[in-house]
Amino acid sequence: MQHQTKHAEFWFAHDLLFIKYKQDISITGAIALQIVKDRIQIQKGLAYCICCDVRGVKRIDKPARNYLAYEGAALCKAVAFLVDYPLSQMLSDFYIRTSRPPIPMKICMTMEEALTYLELYKYV
C-alpha cells in the first residue's frame, strides 16, 4: 500500500519501508517533524529497515538534521540512502558524518546496492 504525503511517498515491499522524498524539497525542522510523525504512524509500532530515496532533496537545515538523526531514529533498524552525484550524495554524507545518527546507514548509488545492504539488517 502506498501513502502519499505532502513531502514524501511511503510504501512497503520485501519487508522494507521505502521512502521517496518529493522533487526539489528543502527539509526544515518542521518538515522533518512531520516526516517522522508520518513514518511512525505508517509503521504501526514495528521497526523496519528503510530505503530512503533522497535524490529529490535540495537542502536540509541544521534543525532538520538534528531531529532526523535522533528523534528520527525511532523504529529504524538501518537506512540506505539512495543518492546521486553530487548534491544528494554530499548532503547524505554530511548528514551521516556530522549529525551521526545512532543507527547503521549507508550511501548507495543504485537501488540494487541499497537492497543488498538492507538485507544485512532486515531480520536482526
CA–CA separation, 56 vs 48, rounded Å? Answer: 22
Please state the separation of Cα 45 from the chain's center in Å.
Answer: 17
Should residue 43 be labelled a site residue for another protein when binding is judged by CB under 8 A? yes
The grid coordinates listed for 112 are: 540494487
Piece of the chain touching another protein by CB under 8 A; list 18-26, 49-57, 72-80, 109-117: 72-80
70 near another protein, judged by CB under 8 A? yes
CA distance 10 to 19: 5
Residues near another protein (CB under 8 A), total: 23
Closest Cα to residue 16, out of 37, 57, 46, 41? 46
Based on the shown chain and the rule CB under 8 A, indicate whether residue 97 belongs to the binding site for another protein: yes
**Applying CB under 8 A, which residues contact another protein?**
36-37, 40-41, 43-45, 66, 70-71, 73-75, 86, 90, 93-94, 97-100, 102-103
